[in-house]
Structures are given as C-alpha cells and as structure tokens.
Amino acid sequence: MTKMTVPKLQAMKQQGERIAMLTAYDYLFAETLDRAGVDTILVGDSLGMVIQGNDSTLPVTLEEMAYHCLAVSRGASSALIIADLPFLSYQQSPEQALMSAGQLMKTGHAEVVKLEGGTEMAPTVEFLVSRGIPVCGHLGLTPQSVHQMGGYRVQGRDQQRAEQIKNDALALQQAGACAVVLECIPQPLATEITKLVEIPTIGIGAGSACDGQVLVLQDMLGLNEGRAPRFVRDFLADSGSISKAVAAYVAAVKDGSFPNLEESYS
C-alpha cells in the first residue's frame, strides 16, 4: 500500500471513499493495522484508560504520548499517524501547543496532532497550521472535559449545543484543521456537519454519514465486554483472528455497513 498523507486523506472525502481509523499504542498492533489497510492510526490519549487503567485520559503525559507514538511509527509504514495532545499540553497558549506538538513530531514521529475543543481553540489551530503542523480537531464528547460535562454523555442533543458544535466545526475548518473527529453526537447532527464542512469528519458514536470512522482498538476486539458503549461492535467475535477482525472493520467502514442504526444515536 502507498503511504497515506494529509492531502490524500482530504481527497478521500471529495472522492467519496470512507476513511478507516483505529487507535493503536504499540508496534505490533500498528503493524497489524497497517497490513489490514487501516488508513490512519490514532495514538489516542485513550491509552490512559486502556493501557494504564486510569478512569479518564487526564493523567496522560506528553512523554507517554511520544513514547507510544514512536513505537506505533515503527510498525506503520502506510497509515497516517495522528497523535493526541494530552490534557494541559496545549490549552495554555498557542506557543505551549507548538512546543508540545513539536515534541510529538520530533520524538514520537507523529504526522498530525489532534486536540480537543472548537472555537476557543481556533487561534491555536491556526498558529500550529501556519508553522507547518497538521491538526485534527475533536468535537462533541471531548474526554479531557469529562468533569465539566458531568460524565461520558452524548453531546448536542439540544438545539443550543448542536448549534455550538456546528459553529465549532466551521471555526476549526476556517483555522486550517485537516480533519475533525466527532464523538458521541446524534447521527442527524453529524450528517449535517459532514455536509457543512469540506474537511473529513471521522465519527465515533456519530453515525454512518461521517466521512470516516474510528474506534478504540481494544473495544472493537471485544476486550471491554459488558462496558462497551452502544457504538462499539465486536469485530473479533466472528473473525477468528485479530488481523481478520481489523480487515472486517476496514471493509465495514468502507462499504458503510458500520455503524448501523443501533450503533448510532438518534
């Protein structure tokens, strides 16, 4: 497979080809995902929960993100590597964000950084992009704000919050973000945003109309049994091997059969 790049990822939206993204945090899983045709690997700060066993992403440090990102980069030759800027590594100022993003790229070999937030983060996104750093946004349920949101809840169910998320998506696009993750928002809202913006939307619990999908790897391998949210499908159950499960995920994202209505919020 040829190397995925930011311009290629953006062209996929124009060409109507869905983007398959999964998280990974280490070398061997990254290699497995890469071989199975995953377009982009997210080194998510969800590692704070699935790798470290914390009950939120808040304790994750920049050094930990760079460590896992470097391991992933050694396993991925085709997939685009996106790494999360962890809590308090970018919120203080655009300059702080630049140094943190630089560390993820220099020592972790990240190719894109992801940060949470909308309009309030637009100046930071613009600052990073103007210095050659591709940025992916993250809207809806933003796990670094879990305490402010009062838990991991679906966002944008009321008109006011829905309008705010739409405006945030436009602000991120205007600031130069190359893509935006939409987490846990009603399917109709994600559909509207996907039509509204030219940059790819990557959904997680946001319905099938997004330009791409992302899941936490351990969730789609059924390791979160009994605790998985409704938007998670266990791809390992019917596949027999991890590589076949990942290939089944890629195929289901590409043909639009994942997520189905039961795996989405109305």
Closer CB to ligand KIV, residue 34 or residue 45?
Answer: 45
Establish if 126 lies at the interface with ligand KIV (CB under 6 A): no
Cα–Cα distance measured from residue 84 to residue 212, given in angstroms and rounded to the nearest whole number = 18
* In contact, 217 and 43? CB cutoff 8 Å: no
Say if residues 143 and 57 touch (Cβ distance below 8 Å): yes
Q: CA end-to-end span of the chain, whole Å?
A: 36
Query: Could you say whether residue 46 binds ligand KIV (CB under 6 A)?
Result: yes
Which of 22, 171, 214, 246 binds ligand KIV (CB under 6 A)? It is 214
Has 95 been annotated as catalytic?
Answer: no
Question: Hey, what are 186's tokens?
Answer: 């009603």
Cβ proximity to ligand KIV: between 148 and 160 the closer is: 148
Residue list 161-200, contact with ligand KIV (CB under 6 A): 181, 183
Task: Provide the phi-psi class of 206: left if phi over 0, else alpha when psi is between -120 and 50, else beta.
Answer: alpha
CB of 46 to ligand KIV, least distance (A): 3
Q: Which of 31, 64, 126, 183 is catalytic?
A: 183
Minimum CB distance to ligand KIV smaller for 136 or for 171: 136
Is 247 a binding residue for ligand KIV by CB under 6 A? The answer is: no
CB atoms under 10 Å from CB of 77, counted, come to: 13
**With binding defined as CB under 6 A, does residue 204 bind ligand KIV?**
yes
Q: Which of 31, 39, 64, 84 contacts ligand KIV by CB under 6 A?
A: 84
Q: Are 61 and 69 in contact (CB under 8 A)?
A: no
List 42, 79, 135, 245, residue binding ligand KIV (CB under 6 A): 42
100-136: burial string, b at 16+ Cβ within 10 Å, e else: bbebbbeebbbbbbbbbbbeebbebbbbbeeeebbbb
Counting contacts by CB under 6 A, is residue 39 touching ligand KIV? Answer: no
Assess 216 for contact with ligand KIV (CB under 6 A): yes
Kindly state the smallest distance separating residue 186's Cβ from ligand KIV, in Å: 17
Report cis status (omega within 30 of 0) of the bond before 259: yes
Cα distances (angstroms) measured from residue 265 to each of 140, 199, 230: 13, 22, 9
Residue 4 or 65 having the CB closest to ligand KIV: 65
Is residue 23 within the footprint of ligand KIV (CB under 6 A)?
yes
Rounded Cα gap, residues 81 and 42, in angstroms: 6
For ligand KIV, which is the closer residue by CB, 64 or 84?
84
Report the distance separating Cα 218 and Cα 23, nearest Å: 9
Residues that are catalytic: 183
Q: What are the residues binding ligand KIV (CB under 6 A)? A: 23, 42, 44-46, 84, 138, 181, 183, 204, 214, 216
